[in-house]
Structure 1
């Protein structure tokens, strides 16, 4: 698998030339900039029609940040964020990843070579508390050592396109604060929300069964290799355009929340809302989002944001990917793309 990755990254290089590149890698930073960066660029060339970033120029080089983003793709989200960070001369991240996603030795090795740290799943309440505290302490340590950190705004990917920050994620992050007041500790983390937007989600149809099961209130059981297949599909599938935008919070927000709210839970709830506002307001809305909104609501409200060709292309995708006899599947697919428009309209 690793040889396949290297051949993909350096398609025109000989075995000796590839070895020479690897021999120049003396650190994770070397490996990320000399190999993974090029892997992602090749991936974007083959599976997208353009990658753009914004907001990173507002950040300070050589300063660690705590990035919190919406989460759509298992591997690509953090890979693209790090490309944006490298392009802007910023510190790359150590990134949280669920242990269920690195069951294969190749993925475990690759995750370590990209500074991933594990979030343990399927634990008892006592084990969960212990591992959460360790995780919080480790992220605090990373930041103190000058390393940026990334974590998704919620546990697992957003399947339905409705990007909302889980209060429990913020609570876990603050477990290492000791006697430091809650908002003071969070303020010192330098949280930077990031909005990640794909014009087409190559894993959209893979997410529909889980959404439908949730709506029908029935258990959803993953198939063997489902996560691995999602990783491959997300990486290699066509995404059209991609945009990532960093949206730093106004520092005064922390003082404002501290004055207004009473309990720590209320403060975290309010902070989660501010992170959501930041992500929603900086989320790049594509024609696919507007088309899905209009189709779902049977309207032409956003017709000025797309043309006939884009509409027909999306309709064909919908017809090919869902059962036209199952309205729940159709609605779930459309809302996956429409929810970002709905969230933006609420601002």
Structure 2
């Protein structure tokens, strides 16, 4: 047994058997009927039975499913920065995180369309507790982040994951996607948690952390949705946190968030990939000899890249103006766009709850606030 067996995706040799085992599962059937609505079930089942690699499964089925999601629930995906990346080269993509499934799926569509190496992607094991969902995630080249462990086991799990990512990046030439923090950003304030970088550094071995970070080629990724399809679903947790209450998820909450993200209206979506953080790491190494300070500086460098390149939409400017009772950014949206957003606000939350209304608006406005820290004019 490989020491990574508990967390890794399937090997290609395991793919066909996994597909055969789940081919009649209702979730797979629903996914295929959504993706190929005019195709008889036996046709896609026959094609699935001929699938023997993760790449074939992703290119022939997942790619088509995500294209259908974009067609049905968005006004399209735009990208920038991908032309700077080299083909046949692995990168560690550290991304802001808004949607459980789509963030990494859309990045992989963009990588595929640009002829670049697609990613193995981190996913919390809390999201794939059901056997079929775990199998589906492994078929889509996800590896598991083990959640809710006691401190000693968490340390061991972090060590294992860091070693696995090093193997993917440096030995298998496989790109990796990981979120900048545990869990999705709920309030629109994208911020990298230093713990993510400390976990990565555990695989440095005899190398300094900075030298290792240079070797694995860190690329910050910024993804933005004009409408967050799960904006209303994020409200209960935001309300609990605002009132210093402990938030407990309902039993089907994660699954509802997954469905909401896939099927909910998103309007426009943009992904920007930043530059490889090479010169930044050189500067950090020269200016800081202390590893903790180096990691703090790298955390800031990732944040700077993500926040500066975050694509702002009319919804962000509208929310900022509504929240601050101003028309500062009125040139960035139309009256029709404003009335549509206000209608969404009315439909999705309790308008009598001022705290909830403010939290909803702040979710969309905070990216504007963050970008104003870098630019005088937007």
The TM-score range, normalised by the shorter chain, is over 0.9
Given the alignment of the two structures, is residue 243 of structure 1 paired with residue 265 of structure 2, yes or no? no
Q: Which residue of 2 aligns with 1:139?
A: 165
Q: Which residue of 1 aligns with 2:186?
A: 159
Q: Which residue of 1 aligns with 2:156?
A: 130
Please state how far the C-alpha of 1:250 moved relative to its aligned partner: 4.6
* Aligned-partner SS, 1:22: helix
Task: After TM superposition, list the pairs within 5 Å mapping 1:81-120 onto structure 2.
Answer: 81-120=107-146
Q: Which residue of 2 aligns with 1:184?
A: 211
Write the deviation string for residues 211-241 of structure 1: whole angstroms up to 9, x where unpaired. Answer: 1111111100101110000000100011011
Distance in structure 1 (CA, Å) of the matches to 2:163 and 2:179? 17
Distance in structure 2 (CA, Å) of the matches to 1:91 and 1:24? 23
User: Of 224, 229, 246, which residue of structure 1 is paired with 2:256?
Assistant: 229
Check whether the contact 2:87–2:116 (CA below 8 A) recurs between aligned residues: yes
Q: TM (normalized to structure 1)? A: 0.98
Check whether the contact 2:166–2:203 (CA below 8 A) recurs between aligned residues: yes
| RMSD, aligned α-carbons | 1.0
* Aligned-partner SS, 1:149: strand
Q: TM (normalized to structure 2)? A: 0.90
Write the deviation string for residues 42-79 of structure 1: whole angstroms up to 9, x where unpaired. Answer: 11100001111111111000000000100000011111
Check whether the contact 1:25–1:34 (CA below 8 A) recurs between aligned residues: no
Given the alignment of the two structures, is residue 16 of structure 1 paired with residue 42 of structure 2, yes or no? yes
Structure 1, unmatched stretches of 5+, are none
Single out whichever of 14-23 and 237-246 deviates more from structure 2. Answer: 14-23
Structure 2, unmatched stretches of 5+, are 1-26
Distance in structure 2 (CA, Å) of the matches to 1:16 and 1:211? 45
Distance in structure 1 (CA, Å) of the matches to 2:137 and 2:49? 20
Distance in structure 1 (CA, Å) of the matches to 2:366 and 2:274? 20
Check whether the contact 2:217–2:277 (CA below 8 A) recurs between aligned residues: no
Distance in structure 2 (CA, Å) of the matches to 1:239 and 1:15? 29
Runs of 4 or more consecutive aligned structure 1 residues displaced over 6 Å after TM superposition: none
* Aligned-partner SS, 1:241: strand
Q: Which residue of 1 aligns with 2:22?
A: none
* Aligned-partner SS, 2:221: strand
Q: Which residue of 1 aligns with 2:13?
A: none
Distance in structure 2 (CA, Å) of the matches to 1:131 and 1:233? 30
- Aligned residue pairs total 347
Distance in structure 2 (CA, Å) of the matches to 1:96 and 1:88? 22
Distance in structure 2 (CA, Å) of the matches to 1:331 and 1:262? 43
Task: After TM superposition, list the pairs within 5 Å mapping 1:155-304 onto structure 2.
Answer: 155-304=182-331
Please state how far the C-alpha of 1:265 moved relative to its aligned partner: 1.1
Please state how far the C-alpha of 1:336 moved relative to its aligned partner: 0.5
Please state how far the C-alpha of 1:254 moved relative to its aligned partner: 0.6
